[in-house]
Amino acid sequence: MAQIDELIKEFSEQVEQILVTSIINLEDGTPMAGFTSDEDLDINIPVAYFSEVARRTLSALEASEMGEFQDMVMSTDQYYVLMRVIPGGSYVHFLAITTKGNWGIAKILMKKYAEKFAEALP
């Protein structure tokens, strides 16, 4: 998993205002790799809950025949939360940045790294 850790580090260095990023295994909701700029944040907590959001989104899109889940952007008063399905469908890339960050650029970077992550994952 060293390669995926290196890719997460490389990705996180390119995203401004990053709080947390992780590659999540959708089967069990665990992080395969992750980074946070807040040493007090246990990334397992947002990862576990947002993996459930991703799973339910996949199910909803399948049931309603609205196409394949590619990415999702949510906003709160403090953060932008982005998720992108990694090619192959078993993993999702999760990212949270402050509202001072540019979610458009973050989304472009997530798309750019999706194939790299797919190649590095089992």
pLDDT tens for 76-105 read: 999 999 999 999 879 999 999 999 999 999
Give me the pLDDT at residue 46, please.
Answer: 94
pLDDT of residue 1: 61
Predicted pLDDT at 120: 93
Tokens found for residue 120? 């590095």
How would CATH label the architecture of 2-120? 2-Layer Sandwich (3.30)
The SS3 assignment for 106 reads helix
Residues of the chain with pLDDT under 50: none
Q: How far, in Å, CA of 88 to CA of 52, rounded?
A: 18
Residues 6+ apart with CB under 8 A from 16: 97, 100, 101, 102, 105
The predicted model scores a pTM of 0.93
The domain locations on the chain are 2-120
